[in-house]
Structure 1
Amino acid sequence: MDRMTRLLDHLRGVPGATVAELARELGATERTVRRDLARAREGGVVLDVRRGRGGGVRLIRDTHLPALRFTEDEALALALALGAVAADPRLSAMARSARLRLGRVLTDRFGERVAALADVRPEEPVSLLGADPVRAEVLLDLCVAVARRHRVELAYRSGSGTPTRRPVDPYEVVRMAGHWYLVGFCGLRRGIRVFRIDRVATVRRTEITVRAPDDLDAPALVAAGVRRSAEDPVICEFAFDVDARRARELAPAYRMELVDRPGGAHGIIRALPHHLPRLARWVLGLDVGVRVIAPAALRDELGRLADRAHALADG
């Protein structure tokens, strides 16, 4: 096997390597490696070469091998099957290398998306997609956005069923408790959020580069979200001085049950306990008469907001 063949074979099986690492692998000088990389480019091999600290060489497309064609679901099945193998520590390195090689020879449409799945944390090799109706193209596009550190725009359905469009800086894709999650900074809510990927309708990738916080612990954030979602909902009851049609317009972000009664509408919102502070802020922002019937915890939140407002006014 000549040096060029060994060089390309090594790059097919690793996510990236420095020139110094390639030189050690090939038993050549760094100058020789750079010359070989230039020859490979001239021959049609697509490389991503970055200089400086944290830089390296990454194989994007290898024209020396014929492109393989799969449907989106077939490409996802191949990548996830290798992910199941990677759950065995004895096979992890080999499975990851195989997934990267697979990504190198797939057609342009799927190659980088399947290769990006090599960076998703492997878990138990059972029910890899969980019980959710996760769409292959959505999961793959999010994995690539994470790998490239590119901002995305999501068409997302919240837990209450409300559709939204929101810019998101994607940090990590995590699978836990039978679900796929995306952890990232939400431009709509202005904070780090956990998104259920089965609730993502479409993904539009941008060229805007983002950076994840150095101390981010994505699995811990997902675990905390899973624990909160298991909490029993709190029944929040309201009396409005407007009819049900007008009251429904006041709560586009909540699924509110409404009935007309003499003097105004009666409404019920089922909320998780950690949502009560946000619900209290919503109540304060209403421009109609409203009375909180229950729970006492929501009235306590309103009292805390009132105390803070008084303190700010006095200060």
Structure 2
Amino acid sequence: MSDTTTRALSLLNLLQTHRHWPGSELADRLGVTERTVRRDVERLRELGYRIESSPGASGGYRLEAGSAVPPLLLTDEEAVAMAIGLRVAAAQRLIGGPETTLTALAKLEQVLPAELRRRVNALAETVQPTGFGQGSPVSPEILGELALACRDRERVRFAYVAASGEESRRRVEPYALAPADRHWYLVCWDLDRDDWRTFRVDRLADVFHTRVSFEPRPLTPEQVEEFILVARSWVRQKVETDVVMDMPIDPMREYFGQWGQGATSEGADRTRWSVGGADFRETMFGMTYIPPGVEYATDLAEPERSELREVVERMLRALASPPPISRSTRSPAA
């Protein structure tokens, strides 16, 4: 393989791994001049790759969405079969590493021509995998769009329907997609709320790419995991209650972090916060996280209220009694 061919393939690989590349950066990556990059782009165009170029200081190159499948690499039928398989794998989380599935899906759908994309959409709707448990239906096409935005650090807009039924339009900087409990979640910076937010992907629609890039804010894997955990807790629980604590809302939010989402102010000095769980024990566990010394009231309903009172009263009696003699301090039998 000639140096020219090797360099052209390296250029193609770069174009497939990022939505937009400045010409100068491509030249630096490949160790050539910008003039050589332009010649290599023309060679790729001759092979059937539709590469969009833009002039100016902020210009560069972009592998155009909807370009033809690279010749001699995949037939139309193979491309459609692979796209459907990747969509099913992403939606059903059939592969242990979901990021790998989404990366492959994003790369393939970026070069699918419009006719093949329509075939994929039509056939994918008829594919009904079984044996993977129940989960909310999620659009693999939207997953692919969000995967591209996360990869390329591109701001997007979309419509969202909250669990309460409230509809809104959001402008976000997408950071990561993550699966949990048969759902997909998008972790992103909400530009209108000026804070991190987590959205259920099955409640998303009308994803619009703004082509505006951003510098991602720092976020650790542990923080991403916590965001997902908080989002999972927002589903309707079997036993739910509100607590009103003697604590202003600002210090409450600072204390609870992401777990303080949904809290509302009850005057200047009090905060209302929802707690829930599968039973009264999990609800009680949530209330134990209220800061020490902070008094609060709860509207926990019956019969869980009486069940919780019985458990707490019994626990208080146990704590008020002298501790039992440890086996290690007992006198040996005569």
- How does the TM-score come out when normalised to structure 2? 0.49
Shift in Å, 1:195: 0.5
Q: Give the one of 178, 190, 198 matched to 2:182.
A: 178
- Equivalent residues in 2 for 1:156-235, closer than 5 Å: 156-217=160-221, 219-226=224-231, 228-229=233-234, 234-235=240-241
CA offset digits 1:101-157 (Å, max 9, x no partner): 63464215888xx9xxxxxxxxxxx95x97221012322222233233333222212
CA offset digits 1:54-89 (Å, max 9, x no partner): x9976445686389489999735335649956849x
* C-alpha distance 68-221 of structure 1, shift in aligned 2 (>3 A): farther
- Equivalent residues in 2 for 1:140-155, closer than 5 Å: 140-155=144-159
Instruction: Give structure 1 stretches of 5+ with no counterpart.
Output: 24-28, 115-125, 239-272, 285-294, 302-315
- Equivalent residues in 2 for 1:11-90, closer than 5 Å: 11-14=11-14, 15=17, 18-23=26-31, 33-34=36-37, 36-40=39-43, 43=46, 45-47=49-51, 59-60=63-64, 61=67, 65=71, 68=76, 75-78=83-86, 81=89, 87=97
* C-alpha distance 163-38 of structure 1, shift in aligned 2 (>3 A): closer
Shift in Å, 1:158: 1.3
Q: Distance in 2 between matches of 1:276 and 1:133?
A: 26
Q: Distance in 2 between matches of 1:110 and 1:211?
A: 33
Partner of 1:123: none
- Equivalent residues in 2 for 1:247-286, closer than 5 Å: 274=260, 277-278=263-264, 280=266
8 Å contact from structure 1 (residues 157, 199) kept in 2: yes
Q: Helix, strand or coil: the match of 2:210?
A: strand
CA RMSD of aligned residues (A): 5.3
* C-alpha distance 146-76 of structure 1, shift in aligned 2 (>3 A): farther
Partner of 1:121: none
8 Å contact from structure 1 (residues 133, 198) kept in 2: yes
Q: Distance in 1 between matches of 2:151 and 2:162?
A: 25
* C-alpha distance 33-170 of structure 1, shift in aligned 2 (>3 A): same
Q: AA paired with 1:75?
A: A
Q: Distance in 2 between matches of 1:145 and 1:107?
A: 19
Q: Distance in 1 between matches of 2:50 and 2:172?
A: 29
Q: Distance in 2 between matches of 1:11 and 1:179?
A: 36
Q: AA paired with 1:6?
A: T
Larger Rg: 2
* C-alpha distance 107-180 of structure 1, shift in aligned 2 (>3 A): same
- Equivalent residues in 2 for 1:112-131, closer than 5 Å: 131=135
* C-alpha distance 171-189 of structure 1, shift in aligned 2 (>3 A): same
Q: Helix, strand or coil: the match of 2:86?
A: helix
Task: Give the % identical residues.
Answer: 22
Instruction: Give structure 2 stretches of 5+ with no counterpart.
Output: 19-24, 121-130, 245-258, 271-283, 298-334
Q: Helix, strand or coil: the match of 2:43?
A: helix
Shift in Å, 1:182: 0.7
